[in-house]
Amino acid sequence: MPSDKLRHDWTASVLVLRPDRQILLLLHGKLGVWLGPGGHIEAGESPDEAALREVMEETGLPVTLLGARDPALDDLRHGVVCLPQPYVLLKERIHDARDPHYHLDHIYCARLAIAEADADALLLGANNVRFVAEHELAALPMFDNFRALIARVFADRALWSALRAASPAPLHQEAHHGEPRLRS
């Protein structure tokens, strides 16, 4: 892949899933398309910490990341912690006329860390943030690659089966602790 020497910013995004086969999306104010919550990874922050923070900042919802994590690789004595794996990592060109650059986007899947009824109450009245079922996607403006990613997630049987089988999540999750792998 040729490089054009543009700046590369690290970002984290999240697809929050509900067992009833809905995904949390929000309408991006500047771009006018539906995406998962996400944003830039801040200095001193790991990608998984950024993912959890971005969901909370943009939606008010606490979530638990679903990415595989191998605690056998942790070496706390030397400050080594294995982080949850993102569902996918994308290099996305940002076509900003004033500042063209790339996002290296860690896209995670997550589940709610609160009851669905509590999540619904938090989102009540929000027009730009909502859980969306697969049959609703065609009516929403999205980038083509994001639409393909969402279709892949909806088709990922192992992910949805594991999500339905998962026990209720605690209210908070420390960012360095992940869940077992949910996709094949």
- 128-142 pLDDT, tens digit per residue, is 999 999 999 999 999
User: What value does the mean pLDDT take over residues 29-56?
Assistant: 96
- By CB atoms closer than 10 A (0-12, 13-18, 19+), residue 77 is exposed
> Domains (ranges, CATH) in the chain?
8-165 (3.90.79.10)
Check residues 30 and 75 and name the one with the higher pLDDT.
75
Residue-averaged pLDDT of the chain: 88
- 134-179 pLDDT, tens digit per residue, is 999 999 999 999 999 999 999 999 999 888 877 554 443 444 344 3
User: What value does the mean pLDDT take over residues 94-112?
Assistant: 94
pTM value is 0.86
Least Cα distance to 134 among 154, 148, 149, 152 occurs for: 154
> Which pairing describes strands 88-94 and 101-112: parallel, antiparallel, or unpaired?
antiparallel
User: What value does the mean pLDDT take over residues 120-128?
Assistant: 92
